[in-house]
Amino acid sequence: MTMKLKKTLQIILALCLGLWMISCQQEHIKLTSPNGKLSLEFTLDEEGAPRYCLRHAGKNILLPSRLGLVLKDAPDLLTGFVLKEVKHDSHNDVWQPVWGEEAEIVNHYNELRVCLKEETSLERELNIIFRLFDDGMGFRYEFPRQQQLQEFLIDDEVTEFVFPADYDAWSIPVKGVRFYEALFEKKTLSKMGWVSTPVTIETTDSLYLAIHEANLTDYAAMNLKPVEQLEDNKTVTLRAALTPWSTGEKVRVTDTRVSPWRTMIVAESAGDLLLSRLMLNLNEPCRITDTSWIQPMRYIGIWWTYHMKHSTWHAGPHHGATTENTMRHIDFAAANNLGGVLVEGWNEDWATWKFSFTKPYTDFDIQRITDYGRSKGVALIGHHETGGNVSNYENQMEDGFKFYEKYGVHQVKTGYVGDLLDGKEYHSSQFGVLHYRKVIEAAARHRICIDNHEPVIPTGLQRTFPNLMTQEGVRGQEWDAWDVDGGNPPSHTVMLPFTRGLAGPMDFTPVTFRFVNDVMPQTRVHTTLAKQLALFVVLYSPLQMASDEIENYEANPEPFNFIVSCPTDWSRTVVPEACIGSYVTIARCDKGEGCWYIGSITGDEERTANISLSFLDTDKSYLATIYRDAPESDYETCPAAILIEEREVTYSDTLTIRQARSGGTAVRLCPIKDS
C-alpha cells in the first residue's frame, strides 16, 4: 500500500468516524427497564451538552435534564462533548443481605454506559452510567484516569431533574436544621427551597417518586434546590447542591473516580416506595468475610433516664452509668428476651466533653459488667460520644475499639453533637463522609457494629459494610422529652417511612410507655400506647431500642410482651395499606417460626384500618394477638388505654380495627400447629 493511498484511507476513516459521532449525537440513545415500563433517553444537544429524560408507560416523569460538572481553576465539564462510545449491558441475580427487611433481594437492571470526549484541545473524557430497574433509576459520573484530568476540584454538579409540573413533595430544609432532625413538610416542588434528600414526590399521574443517592463514597452529600424560572414556565427544575468544604469547593477528586449514584424510585403506590431496594442494589457487595458477629437485636438502655433528669451522664451522686445500675438493666433484659443494654455516660469526661474512649469512670467496672452480661446472655452496647471533635476521636479511635474488643463488646453507638465537625466542616461534607467511612472500616477490623448518631444521611452502605447497622439522621423520639414546642406531632411518624425511612434503617428509639414529662410538662409523647408498640415494626432498624426506663415496662408487662417477642430481622415485608402523612400498615415475617408482625399507625385523624391478611400462607391458620386502641384511647386525653385480644385467622381474613388519633395497632400472627 502506497503512502498516498494509506493517507487517503485514514482521511476516509476519520470522516466516517466523525459522521458516526454526529449521527449518534442526533439520535436519542435509549434504555428500558427489565419490565419495559420505564424508559430513558440520552442525547447531546446542539452545544454538545449531555441531557437525559425519563418516562413511565410512555408518560413523562423527567423532561430533558442537564448533566455535567463545574470545576474549580479548570474549564467546566458541561458542553462541547461528542460521543466516543456507547455500551449496553444487563444484570440479573439474587443476593442475601446479612440482615434486613427481606431474606433475598432481586438485583435486575439494564445499563447504558455513555462515554463522552471533548472536541476542544483538552480532549477530556467523562463517562455517565445509567441503570434502570423496574422500580427506578440510578446514574453516576465516572472520571477516567487521563493526563488532562488528574486530581481536580468540583465547584458544582449540574445534575438536574426537570419535572413537567409543580408536584407536591415532602422534604426537610438544609438551612436551620441540625443533623437532619426536622419535621418533613409537604410543599410544591417550586416552594421547597434548599432541601436534603430523600425528597418524596407525588405526581398527578398517581406515581410516587423519591430522589436520593446511593453509595456515597469520598464525595459530598447531594442536596437539591429549585432553579429559578419564569412564572409562565410550568416545568420545575431541581438541581444538585452539594455540601461544601469550609474552603468552598464541593469535592476533591483524587483516588475515587466515580460520583455516588443519583437515584429515583418510581412507584405506582405509596406503599411500593417502601419496598424498593434500588439503593441497596447500587451499592457494592459485602466486604466482610465473616459476619457471624453481626447480630440484629432489640435492646434497652441507660438513656431515657437522662432526658427525664432522673440521672446524669457525668459522674456524681446521680450518675446513671454505674456498675450496679447496668447490672440491674442486664437482669431486666435477660428476663425479657432482650439482647443488649446501651450505656451512655460510662467514660471520662462528660463534665468537660474532652472525652476519653478507654477510661471508664471509677464507678463503672466494665470487666465485671461484661462478664455478668455474658453469664446472662446479654450484650453491653458501648457508646462513643465525640461532641463533633473528629480529631480527638480519630486520635483515639483504634484504641477505643481495641478497648471494647477486649471486653467482647460488638455494638457501639457513636455521636457527633456539634454543629460543625472539628468546628469547621459540615457533617454531610466530603470531610464528614470520609470520617464516617474511617469509623465503619476501623470498627469492622475490631468486629464492632455501629449505630451512628448525627450522621450523614444513609445511602445503602450497609450492604457493603453490614456492621453499619443503623443511624439516626432523623427527628427521633428524644424530641418528645425536651422539645420546647411540645414534641413530635402525630403526623410525623406517618411521614417518616416514606421519607427518611427510604434512606435506610433509622434509630428513632420508640416504645415510650409513660406519657408524663416531669421536667417539661408541656412536652410529651403524642401517641397512644398501641402506636408505640406498632412503631417497633413500622420504623425499621436491625438494632431496635425500647427507649423508656425499665420501671415503666415493669409496670406494664402485658403490652411489653409484644416487644419481648418482636424480631428486628425479617424474611419478607409487605405494605397492605398506606397514605403518606395519614396512615401506614406494614407487615413483616420473621426468619424463624414463620410468624408475622404487623404495625399500623395513624396521624392526626382517627380511622378504621382494614388490614388484609392475604400475605399469610394459604394452608395455615394463625393465632393473632392484637394490641389495639381502646374505645376511650386518645393521644391527648387517654394515651395509655389499650386492649389486648386473641383470635384465630387465615389468609382470607381482613382485620377491621378502629384506630384513635395518633393511634395504632400491633399484631403478632403465629401459625397454629396441628395437634
DSSP codes, 433-452 = HHHHHHHHHHHHHTT-EEEE
Q: How far apart are CA 599 and CA 537, in angstroms?
A: 5
Whole-number Å distance between alpha carbons of 554 and 329 = 12
Local confidence band at 216 (pLDDT 50, 70, 90 cut-offs): very high
Cα 91 to Cα 107: distance, rounded to the nearest angstrom: 7
Q: Is the pLDDT of residue 25 over 50?
A: no
Distance, in Å, from the CA atom of 471 to the CA atom of 216, rounded to the nearest integer, reads 15
Average pLDDT over residues 505-521: 97
Closest CA to 133 of 67, 188, 56: 56
Structure confidence at residue 635 as a pLDDT band (50, 70, 90): very high
Rounded to 10 deg, the angle between the 366-376 and 323-335 helix axes is: 10
Pick the closest to residue 305 from 462, 163, 514 (CA basis).
514
Rounded to an integer, the average pLDDT of 565-585 is 98
Q: Residues 532, 545: contact at Cβ < 8 Å?
A: no
Res. 234 pLDDT band, cuts 50 70 90: confident
pLDDT at residue 271 is higher than 60: yes
More confident site: 229 or 351: 351
**Is residue 2 over pLDDT 90?**
no
pTM value?
A: 0.94
C-alpha–C-alpha distance, residues 382 and 370, integer Å:
11
pLDDT over 70 (residue 282) = yes
The bridge status of strand 570-579 relative to strand 340-343 is: unpaired
Q: Please, how many CA atoms are within 13 Å of residue 237, restricted to the half-sphere of its CB?
A: 18
d(CA 160, CA 54): 12
Q: What percent of the chain has a predicted confidence (pLDDT) above 70?
A: 95
CB 361 within 8 A of CB 320: no
CB atoms within 10 A of CB 293: 15
The whole-angstrom separation of Cα 398 and Cα 673 is: 50
Which among 19, 25, 13 has a CA at the least distance from the CA of 83?
A: 25
- 232 confidence band (pLDDT: 50, 70, 90): low
* Weakest-pLDDT range from 11-15, 295-299, 421-425: 11-15
So which residues are the catalytic ones?
478
* Residues whose CB is less than 8 angstroms from the CB of residue 561 and which lie 6 or more positions away in sequence, other chains included: none
User: How far is it, in rounded angstroms, from Cα 429 to Cα 562?
Assistant: 40
Q: What pLDDT, in 10s, does the model give residues 62-86? A: 999 999 999 999 999 999 999 999 9
pLDDT range class, residue 5, cuts 50, 70, 90: very low
- Give the pLDDT band (50/70/90) at residue 4: very low
- Mean pLDDT, the chain, rounded, equals 95
- Provide the pLDDT confidence category of residue 674 given band limits of 50, 70 and 90: confident
Cα(135)–Cα(500) distance, integer angstroms: 18
Burial of 231 by CB count in 10 Å (0-12 exposed, 13-18 middle, 19+ buried)? exposed
Report how far residue 420's alpha carbon sits from residue 270's, in angstroms, rounded to the nearest whole number: 35
**Distance (Å, rounded) from C-alpha 624 to C-alpha 656?**
13
* Dihedral sign from CA coordinates of 304, 310, 312, 315: negative
- Spatial separation of the C-alpha atoms in residues 46 and 42, rounded to whole Å: 13
Residue-wise pLDDT for 610-628, tens only, equals: 999 999 999 999 999 999 9
Q: How high is the pLDDT of residue 28?
A: 84
Give residue 7's pLDDT: 46
Q: What's residue 231's pLDDT?
A: 64
Instruction: Find the mean pLDDT for residues 543-557.
Output: 98
Residue with cell 430481622: 569
Dihedral over Cα of 490, 491, 497, 500: its sign: negative
Q: pLDDT tier at 16 (50, 70, 90 boundaries)?
A: very low
DSSP result, 138-204: EEEEE---BTTBSSEEEEEE--EEEESS--EEEE-BSTT-STT-S--EEEEGGG--SEESPEEEE-T
Q: Tens of pLDDT along 129-170? A: 999 999 999 999 999 999 999 999 999 999 999 999 999 999
CA distance 63 to 57: 14
* pLDDT tier for residue 27 given thresholds of 50, 70 and 90: low
Residue 516's SS3 state is: coil
Question: Quick check: 187 pLDDT over 50?
Answer: yes
Does residue 8 surpass a pLDDT of 70?
no
Position 346 pLDDT exceeds 70: yes
> Are the beta carbons of 586 and 497 closer than 8 angstroms?
yes
Where do the domains of the chain lie, and which CATH numbers do they carry? Answer: 25-281 (2.70.98.10), 489-675 (3.20.20.70)
Is residue 3 very low, low, confident or very high in pLDDT (cuts 50, 70, 90)?
A: very low
- pLDDT higher than threshold 50 for residue 20: no
Give residue-wise pLDDT tens across range 416-471: 999 999 999 999 999 999 999 999 999 999 999 999 999 999 999 999 999 999 99
554, HSE (Cβ side, Cα atoms, 13 Å): 9
In this prediction, residue 233 carries a pLDDT of 75
d(CA 239, CA 261): 15
pLDDT at 22 over 50: no
